[in-house]
Chain A
């Protein structure tokens, strides 16, 4: 009880600290005659601006290799920059990637990264001085001994067939997965408190995460940061497919940024524009990383990402034109003063000759990277440089479409899911996974967490590819317990090349107790997305005609690092109707009438089929009294 109260008060404290936090940034910008400490804060990054870039490049490189993305920047454009390493204990980077999509839509992906060379979880070390790293999160990490935390809020569904793969995938609704430190004894207790605290921090309904929608995947979610603990007892994973993301979630998310939304790339985040889009996803990823190359000590990395897709059609105008101002109703005038690096990347891979779109202003900086198995070329705009902003002192990127929007894509890995059948008794969940690679088979790890009120008939589980039975090489199934635990199904399936694999399982819809229905029971109940994780063979490795002028000796054996890349694909959530009593007045009337009719008919029928005889006239009173006494005495009665 005391712990519970403590947790609650913590929520409040955190909320307040959270509210108070960005005000520090405000004063930072406005005041100039302030205390020495603040002066030093504003001084430090300027120093880094001048000389920190290459060290950052190294960090980037290492970072991206350890996640799903591989970077190869062999460009000579940054030769002019100096090589002095950064001295700051924590640093902040911001980045915006703009990718014109195949369908004519435009994808904007923000990433903000705060790196702090300190270890919260070390024994006896109490961290109380926070600079760039948000205190609200830091305290949460140390209190609940969190090793790694990933939380995402998504409104909309990523359309893989039209948009290709996202940089950071996320399922519709909210997703939270946390690795706890292996010293934690009561993981479930920590998890429960943590979700409540996070619910306060992000103004989201994460407090609806409880044991009935939490699972411990055995293989699908491995730690992305340092540490080799893979005992899934310390992992908790939950999704809330119904969570609706809106400005109230965006505001606390923005407040975690060192500059808030006052300067830098974050000024672009006007909620009325961000939520006028086809897809919106914001996320926070916290994990331990290496401090330096020798990896003697840990650093904490906070990565805040925001992904938006703007729709070409609903923009209303017939002119196919994108600009920063049109997308965000703001232009950029400066980088965040606290950031060591602040850049905009525009993907121009499909546009080498400028036949698809015009990009202005032009930039001399180019960068190449292998992202998601594909070699991409980017125009780079460095916001820390004055010349980027031109004479108008503001940067407004302009993209003018020339070509038509294309057909649908065939991404190498693609998955979708639906409920088959009709009626309210049974149904069948179909998960269809496509491998569109022309000649390579590859394994995928499928994870499915289904709420208990869909009672899965696991004996009906079938996996078929190319109309043949496909036996999974690994199956981990944890059956549900009514009102306590969801189903968890994990399978490792080999996808044959150029095939469609269908996973089906039948279920029965449970009849809930009447208090367990939501206030809108006829809307249906959500089943979270199915997660498909895979190492997909890379497009670069597929490329056999070497048009790029590579030396022959380097291109015979495909490079190992580039041969495959990690992808996580989320399917759409399901909306399933359960048998719902009609909670309305006519239903009650019918129930009542039926009861009355049943009772009436029963007795009526009884009377009709029974025969009655006229009884003997009743005994006189004296005899009845005598019989009463005789009954008590146990003597035969008088007649």
Chain B
């Protein structure tokens, strides 16, 4: 502080910062990338450990042995599903009742804003069936949930079979302290959303559902089960939920502990753990796993039925059985035992899961990167914006105190001696216009689909996506033209003030985003920071315009699509990638409308307008 309060030394520091501003920023940027990539390096990460006492010391003994019965139930379920052409509600109610559960159903219907071409649905009607196992001598205050989605076609029958077998087995046990809800939901996430909204008596997404009859108090944890084959080779754990929320790390630890105990191969992001961390392949593997997690988290959608629970502060994870060509196979009994163990441990909980981390990245199931380790990577990027900010803030300072001779000492930024101060309109106009473009991007695609379908030979879904892209592109032309129209030639002062505003705005936006969803914040920062920090109207127009467009949010999504495909080892060509890109956009809009995912509004209403402001600066003169 003394350094800054001494005018001479302060002047020296200012000079230094001004002179070395660009190198420092570049170093920071590189350091951020290196730091981030270093997170996957095993010696830099921590080993996972069980924090929750209630789940740690007491290992339970698993006795479930009805795997065969589960598979025959699954076949029966399959037959009834075929016969009913959807969810066999009556059969499920009967078979749950026969297992001694209190059974209830919930019907729901939802009209999607536009047809979902991936899942081929538009008007959705369905029924959820759930049975409650009442814990003896418990006052219905706490519950656990096990769900299995009733999927169309052949998939997921085994999950329902196993669910029913577990229900039967659990019903005969005496040690339950929490009620257990067995839920079979139709239409995957939509059914789940309807059930959760019904259970908590809220309506945030405009779903039509019938009120629930039976409840079991506050839900402590939930497990979602996806199983499509009689034998499996490994189990995959899915954690990423809505808006990038993650369940408490202890849930992942619990899964890992039981996989170890029962000798089940377990994966995360579909990738097995490797032991050779010191080899290049080992590191690449861990980095790929972590990158996949970052990409999945950043897109803010729920990657399994568990993802919607997280909004209600219910820790949840999905467990997916994978049957690959590996030699070593496991039967349903083992999976049943694994679930039995997990549920019994959760049953032992005295408090909600809260001991372990809620913010983490997993380079493998046994290693984790906590928020304290990954935040510096983002911090280094944010520093760039802050460094650029004080660098300009002196300019601002200078402009405010124009005419004060003492200020000539600070000559870091030379060209600021204009006597007339730029009106607030100069800044306000582009800000308002950018945001109006953002609002248009947010509202118009869904609302104009009918008009678009009338005039162009496209389907509703294509209409929505193409309208979005059209508005996005149109926005590039709009702001600076309007601005020029309003106030004539932009002044030197004007763009500086605008840039200051935009930099500050971006810093706040990214900072807030990174706190809630680190991955999204980091990806946006990586692409947005370099160009926004360096942009001025004095750069070569064509080149910088190209750079800006290539680093705009839409292109970021496109890159993410390609990187994701590369990482899951299904590389795609450009045309396929483009189709995927279009479907990602439509899914993003749908996720927002159906489940309340916030990524689409964030991008449309904030990030894109912010980016437009910088675009405006480029074309200031």
Contacts and interface: CB of A to CB of B under 8 A. Distances in A.
Contact of B139 (A241, A584, A611): A241
Q: Which of A430, A524, A526 has the most CB of B within 10 A?
A: A524
Given A161-B102, A430-B201, A575-B217, A278 B351 contact: no
A172 B139 contact: yes
B288 to A, nearest CB: 29
Contacts of B393: 608-609
Interface string B193-212: 00000001110000000000
Nearest to A572: B140
Nearest to B215: A418
Contacts of B1: 603-604, 607
Contact of B355 (A314, A428, A584, A614): A584
Interface in B216-251: 217-218
Given A156-B139, A422-B202, A613 B355 contact: no
Contacts of B355: 584
12 contacts: A314-B173, A408-B102, A420-B202, A520-B350, A522-B352, A524-B141, A524-B218, A572-B141, A573-B139, A573-B140, A582-B354, A613-B7
A241 B350 CA distance: 16
Interface string A503-523: 000000000000000001111
B82 interface: no
B4 A311 contact: no
B351 A520 contact: yes
B138 A156 contact: yes
A577 B406 contact: no
Interface string B540-560: 000000000000000000000
Nearest to A279: B137
B100 A575 contact: no
B58 interface: no
Interface of A is mostly: loop
B173 to A, nearest CB: 7
Given A157-B140, A573-B141, 15 more contacts: A275-B137, A313-B100, A313-B172, A314-B172, A419-B218, A422-B311, A430-B201, A522-B354, A526-B141, A572-B139, A575-B141, A577-B218, A607-B10, A608-B393, A612-B7
A613 B350 CA distance: 63
A519 to B, nearest CB: 10
Interface residues of A, number: 56
Nearest to B401: A611
Interface string A276-304: 11111000000000000000000000000
A522 B201 contact: no
Interface in B115-172: 134, 136-142, 171-172
Contacts of B407: 611
B44 interface: no
Contacts of B215: 416, 418
A135 interface: no
A469 to B, nearest CB: 18
Contacts of A603: 1
A316 B169 CA distance: 11
A155 interface: yes
Interface of B: 1, 4-8, 10, 97, 100, 102, 134, 136-142, 171-174, 200-202, 215, 217-218, 311-313, 350-352, 354-355, 390, 393, 397, 401, 406-407, 410
A200 interface: no
Contact of B142 (A159, A428, A575): A575
A558 interface: no
A184 B268 CA distance: 69
Contacts of B351: 520-523
Contacts of A156: 136-139
B201 A428 contact: yes
Contacts of B173: 314
Contacts of A522: 351-352, 354
Contacts of B311: 422
Interface of A: 155-157, 159, 161-162, 172-173, 241, 275-280, 311-314, 316, 405, 407-408, 416, 418-424, 428, 430, 520-524, 526, 572-577, 582, 584, 603-604, 607-609, 611-614
A614 B137 CA distance: 79
Contacts of A155: 137
Nearest to B370: A586
A162 B401 contact: no
Contacts of B201: 418, 420-421, 428, 430
Nearest to A523: B351
Contacts of B8: 614
A157 to B, nearest CB: 5
Given A420-B202, A422-B311, A422-B313, A277 B401 contact: no
B142 to A, nearest CB: 6
A582 B358 CA distance: 12
A276 B174 contact: yes
A420 B137 CA distance: 24
Contacts of A277: 136-137
Nearest to B139: A172
Contacts of B354: 522, 582
B139 A278 contact: no
Given A241-B139, A314-B136, A420-B202, A613 B100 contact: no
A305 B163 CA distance: 40
B5 A607 contact: yes
Nearest to A612: B7
Contacts of A157: 134, 138-140
Contacts of A608: 4, 390, 393
Nearest to A527: B141
A524 B354 CA distance: 12
A604 B389 CA distance: 13
Contacts of B401: 611
A235 to B, nearest CB: 25
B102 A162 contact: yes
A419 B140 CA distance: 12
A421 B141 contact: no
Given A422-B312, A573-B141, A159 B134 contact: yes
Contacts of B5: 607, 612
Contacts of A604: 1, 4
The 3 closest A-B pairs by CB, nearest first: A172-B139, A420-B201, A522-B351
